[in-house]
Every structure is written in C-alpha cells, then in structure tokens.
Amino acid sequence: MTTTRSPKEIIRKALSEERLKLLEHEAFELIKYYEIPVPETLLARDPKEAYELADTIGYPIALKIVSPDIIHKSDVGGVRLGLMNRDEVARVVEEMLKTVSTRVPHARVLGVLMYRMAPPGLEVIVGGVRDRVFGATIMFGLGGIFVEVLKDVSFRIAPVRITDALEMIDEIKSSKILEGYRGQGPVDRKAIAEIIVKTSKLMMENEEISSIDLNPVIVYSNGAIVVDARVILSKVSH
Amino acid sequence: MEHILGKLFNPESVAIVGATPKEGKIGRAILENFIKRFHGRIYPVNPGYDEIFGLKCYKSVTDLPETPDLLVVAIPAPGVPAVIREAAIKGIRMAIVISGGFRETGTPEGEKLEKELEEISKTYGIRILGPNCIGIYDNWSGVDTYFLPKMKRPPRGFVGFISQSGAFSSALMDWMAYHNIGVSRAISYGNKIDIDDIDLLEYLGEDEKTKVILMYIEDLKPGRGKLFIEVAKRVVQKKPVVIYKAGKTSRGSLAAASHTAAMAGEYSIYKAAFKQAGIIEVDSFDEMMDVVRIFLHQPLMKGNRVYIVTDAGGVGVMLTDALTSVGLEVPQTPSDLKYILRKELPPHCIVENPIDLTGDADDERYMRVLDILIEKPYVDAIVVVALPQIPGIKGSFIDHIIKLKNEYKKPIVALTIGSEVSLEVAEKLEKGEVTVFESPERLAKALKALYTYSIIKTRGDHHEKP
C-alpha cells in the first residue's frame, strides 16, 4: 500500500481484472496522485493489523470492506463509522470480516479500509464525465438535496483553469451558502477550485475514466477534503 | 492567404449537376439563381440537354472545358457518389451536395450512400457541404443554392448565418428580407459529412463582410466540442457570435453510472461550452433577432450603467425593472448632473433616472437632455423612450439622436410603443442605426447581451497584451 502507483497502473490493473469501477482505495490512490486532498487510508488485512495501525491513523476511525464483489457495502455490514480506540477497531474488523463472509460467501475480500473521519463541514460535490461531443467535462454542486433534488450544478468543459473553477462555484444558484451559513464563516472557495482544476487534469490525462464523483467533498473555512470517491472506467479502444 | 473554404463562397466558376429547364425542379431553381446574380462562369451539367437558358450544357463533369472552383450537385442520391468521384478526379476541390436521400432517411441504403460519399471525400480530399442541404446563399459573390424561388432575398449586409436546419434558414432569410436586415452569407449544411459548424464558424470569423455571426445548431459532431470552443474563442475576439441551441430537453446521458453523469444533461454541457467560448446564447427567436440587431448597429458598452430618458413615467419604471432584473444598472442621477438638468428642465420634470420629460415634452427638450447625458463618462448607454403620441413631438429629435450616436460611439437604443405613428419613428431611427424595441423586456435582454459581449471583448483585449 505504501508504494505509489501511477494512474495508468491503477487503471490497467482494474481493467485487466475486468472491473469498470475502481475499488475505494484505488480511487483514493488515484486522486491522491493528483494532489487532491484525501484522508490517509490504510488497508488492514486482519484485526491484528488494524489494531497496530489504528493509533497512527487517529480517531474517529471509519472502516469499509474492500471487495470487488460487493457494490453496496453498508447492506452487508461492510461499513462502520466513528470508532474511538484500537481495541474497538480490532473487534469491529473481526466482526465485519465474519459478517461479510456469511452474507456474501463467495466474495473476494481484500481487507478493510481504515481512515480517520473528517470533521463535519459543508458538503459539496465535484465530478467529471466524458461527453460524446465535448470530451472531459467537470461539474460542481453543493451536496445532498442541492444536487439530488434541485439539480443546482454548474459545468465547464476541461481543461478548467482556476478562474473558470471559481466562476463555476459562483454560478450555482445556492452559491450564497458558501459565504457562510448557520453561523459558520465563509468556506474556502479556493480549496474547492483547486480540486476542480485537479479533477479536470485527471480527466484530461486518463481517457479510460468515463466518470468520477468526489462526493462529498467536505469544505472548511480553511481547506477541503474528499471523503468519498467513485471512479468509473470504460474500455478505450486505442 | 485565402481561407481553405474560400472557393466555396467565392468561386470563379461553378458547375451545376442536375441543371434543367424543367419547371419546378431544384436544378432549375439553382441554375436560375446563379444566372441572376453570379458573375463567374456557369456550366450546367445534364446529359439530356445541349443548352439550357442559353448556356452550353455538358454531358458530364469530365466533359467540362475547365476545372470549376465549385460543383453543385442536385440529382437523386444514388447517382451522387459517382459524380463526386468523377469531379474529384477532374480536380474539383469543393462541392455542395443538395440531394437528399442519405442518412436522414434512416434506411440502410441511405446510410451506405452517405458512407460512400464520406469515403470519397476523405480519399480524394474534395470538400463537401451537405448532403441533404440547401447550401449557400452568398450575398456578395452571388453563390445561391437556396432553391426556393418564393423566398425573398435579404439585402447585402453583414449578418452571417450558419444553420443546421435548412427550412429555418430559408424562413429566416425571408424574414430578414422583409425586415430589411442585411445578410452577408447564409449556410445550411445538412448532414455535415465533411464541412461542419466549426469550419464555417472559422470561415465567417475571418470574413470581412460578416460582422455578426448567428448560429442555429442542434448538435455538434462527436468529439468536435473542444475544437469548437477553441475556434469560437478566437472568433469572438473579432466579432460577436450568437447561438440558438435547439433540442434542449435532456435525454438521460448514457447509463447514469454516477451522480455527475446523471446531472450532465446534454444541454447543460452545451450551455457551459457557450459560456466558456464567449458565445452569446439566446433562448428564443425574438431574442435571437433582437440581439443580432443590437450587435449590428451598436458600439460596445464600457460599463453597465444605463440612463433612461422618457416622456412616459410608467414605461420608465417598466424599463427600470426589466434592466435591473437582467443585471444592468439604472443608477441614481449624480448630484452634479441633477443640478444641470434642474436648470435645463421645467420644474415638473423628474431629473432622477429614469429622467422623465413628461407628457408635455417636445423635440427640443429631448435634444437638450441627450446632449448633456451623452457626454458624461458615467453614462454607458442611453435608452430613449419616445412615445410619439404626445402632441409636442414633431420628430426633429430623431436625426439628433442619430447624430449623437454616431458622434459619441456610445450605445443609444430606443423604445416606441404604438401604431403607425410609432412605427414611423421606429423606422426612421432604425435607418439611422439606432436600434428600436417595442418591449422593455426585450430591450433589456438585448442590451444585456451587448454588455456581456463588451466584457468578453475587453477581457480578450487584455489577455492579448503581454
């Protein structure tokens, strides 16, 4: 886990295993390569390893099962959040491995992904798609109902420069929320803009990626962090 | 150096395959168009005739006495590939294929013929406009394949029009003729197997006779989007590009494998692309023509501060609402200006913006106020509301407005509402290139487009400086 793989290597491996959706730790590894802020994630193969890693990660810890055969992790008991010490972590990893193997007997389980949970903040979404006409295209929106119900999002065709990214952020109808809400101060728009620009670069440089969701990205008054990432590939015929 | 498509618009000679004297035939309408206005050499091609309308007719393209710059093809689809191949071998570089019966039919035969045509174009390098199109109406060279004799031809002018719809293109030409709006060149490209929107945009961008480019598109060719943005970015630094995108309802993108993919309706991506390219997007036919008219005749705005001079208080308020809601500013009259206006105007006039000259206004009063306003550096545009129904207005202020607009290179637009008396004022102002509107809301939208383009243009000017 410690050696960094290039995006091409990550993608090639997934495609060679006929997986069109990157595993969570692969997705994190990929976006981290582009210096998009992500939580430090570690893969523990067993409770003992989890116990040893927990302190270095810091708390609260989130645990997620890693398996190419499981799509909805939480449905099979593969997600646990808010663990506060290493004993708890070890116990829950043991439980999780057991539950998952009973519920999905033939699933290949690579281990459990551990990361420190990001403190709460404003949730936004940054995404990318590959359009038939315009190619790599980047999206920005606020998280939750803003994107799901109100579809309040903005787009730019890649490459997206920092000025375009800032414009995208201001373009959504609910952009006022970024100036501060529920007594919070304004969020770090520049940090979001940088993630947008990096996502644009990532989409431009990796033809095989058909879409990407960084959802949510949690934004603070200073900085932002991606806490969930989904990367979908397509087979490019070159 | 001439643009690569130069000969498509400015050929010295043209061959028309399918030319015929038969009444009601497309080949006849096109031949007649060329005879009427094209000054180059014309070669009808049709094995059935020795002569048509006094012109020697040729059996085939191979038989032509020279290699014409342009080939126009209007014969049934199955015969087209052979003719194009023959033309390519003869050395012809440009062809307009009017004929329908290709991919648009949805039949395997149509598809096959189109592929064949595409292949020939690629192999021989002959450039093709079409097939299934009405082609080109060029007001300066006389190239006119718009085979609709009933369509009025608009006067020579400066609007270039690129259209994915042939029928809309010809209807618009007719409309523009009726409204006396001059056209430089109009193109309808049909199935665009070779020459597409982007090539044409680039050409009109460099074309000296085109000052405003209007585009009607349904979709761009796959994979051409980024180039489209790149070309448009260059063109808008020279002249405004106005676009109407048809087909806005989102067809769900592919399988929505992700949030982003689910959100990315086709249209929202186009919209973003237009914005990035600096293209002015319009949402309705009214807006399309309003914006074109304002671009044709108005200089750019230095800022967004609009002053209204009116003889009707109510219309002044309507305008203020409309201008403000599109994001333009209707600022309060600064105190120095208030002071001057107070001295000039009778006490019952309102010197606050909108400046209300009231129902007893006359030409004189308009002229005095406009003379003062036009000089002020904080006035970025003036809207003159001239409701001519009031008794004091005789019409001498019309020429004065025109004079001021030309002298000061500052946008002045007008609003008139009413019957003949109003239309008469409108017509005179329009003749003097003062853009006139009937509706405050439409005026506001058009002026906003002018302002938006002014920003795009100025920003570009800055970028170019090192």
Is the Cβ pair A129, B226 closer than 8 Å?
A: no
SS3 of residue A162 by DSSP? helix
Which of the four pLDDT bands, split at 50, 70 and 90, describes residue B460?
Answer: confident
What is d(CA B292, CA B216) in angstroms, rounded to the nearest whole number?
13
What is d(CA A109, CA B249) in angstroms, rounded to the nearest whole number?
43
Residue B216 has pLDDT above 60, yes or no: yes
State the complex-level ipTM: 0.89
How many residues are listed for chain A in this entry? 238
Is the Cβ pair B223, A139 closer than 8 Å?
A: no
pLDDT in tens, B108-166: 999 999 999 999 999 999 999 999 999 999 999 999 999 999 999 999 999 999 999 99
Mean of pLDDT over chain B: 94
What is d(CA B51, CA B56) in angstroms, rounded to the nearest whole number?
4
Q: Which residues of chain A register pLDDT less than 70?
A: 1-3, 236-238
Q: Which domains does chain B have, with CATH numbers?
A: 300-459 (3.40.50.261)
Q: Give residue B459's pLDDT.
A: 83
Structure token pair of residue B448:
């906003």
Q: Please provide the distance, in angstroms rounded to a whole number, between the alpha carbons at the two ends of chain A.
A: 30
Residues of A whose CB is below 8 A from B224: 133
Task: Report the pLDDT averaged over residues B193-208.
Answer: 97
What is d(CA A201, CA A204) in angstroms, rounded to the nearest whole number?
5
What is d(CA B161, CA B369) in angstroms, rounded to the nearest whole number?
39
The closest of B295, B299, B301 to B181, measured between CA atoms, is B295
The whole-angstrom distance between A155's CA and the closest CA on chain B is: 6
What is d(CA B143, CA A39) in angstroms, rounded to the nearest whole number?
65
HEC states along B234-245? HHCCCCCEEEEE
Long-range contact pairs involving A49-57 (C-beta distance under 8 Å, separation at least 24):
A49/A111, A50/A86, A50/A89, A50/A90, A50/A93, A50/A112, A50/A114, A51/A86, A51/A87, A51/A89, A51/A90, A53/A114, A54/A83, A54/A85, A54/A86, A54/A89, A54/A90, A54/A114, A55/A86, A57/A114, A57/A115, A57/A116
| H or E element, residue B235 | helix B225-235
Task: Report the pLDDT averaged over residues B42-69.
Answer: 97
DSSP for A165-180 reads HHHHHHHSTTGGGGG-
The whole-angstrom distance between B8's CA and the closest CA on chain A is: 26
The whole-angstrom distance between A168's CA and the closest CA on chain B is: 9
Which of the four pLDDT bands, split at 50, 70 and 90, describes residue B228?
Answer: very high
- Strand partners of residue B36: none
Residues of B whose CB is below 8 A from A137: 264, 269, 272
Structure token pair of residue B363:
């030409």
Residues of A with CB under 8 A from a CB of B: 125, 127-129, 131-135, 137, 139, 141, 147-148, 151, 153-157, 164, 210-213, 215, 230, 232
What is d(CA B303, CA B75) in angstroms, rounded to the nearest whole number?
54
Is the Cβ pair B264, A134 closer than 8 Å?
A: no
Q: Which domains does chain A have, with CATH numbers?
A: 7-116 (3.30.1490.20), 122-233 (3.30.470.20)
What's at A138, amino acid-wise? I
Residues of A whose CB is below 8 A from B263: 127, 139, 141, 147, 151, 153
How many residues are listed for chain B in this entry? 466
Task: Report the pLDDT averaged over residues B68-90.
Answer: 98
User: For residue A150, what is the nearest residue in chain B, using CA coordinates?
Assistant: B263
Peptide bond into A47 cis (omega under 30): no
Which residues make Cβ contacts (< 8 Å) with residue A222, sequence separation at least 6?
A188, A191
- Strand partners of residue A126: A140, A214
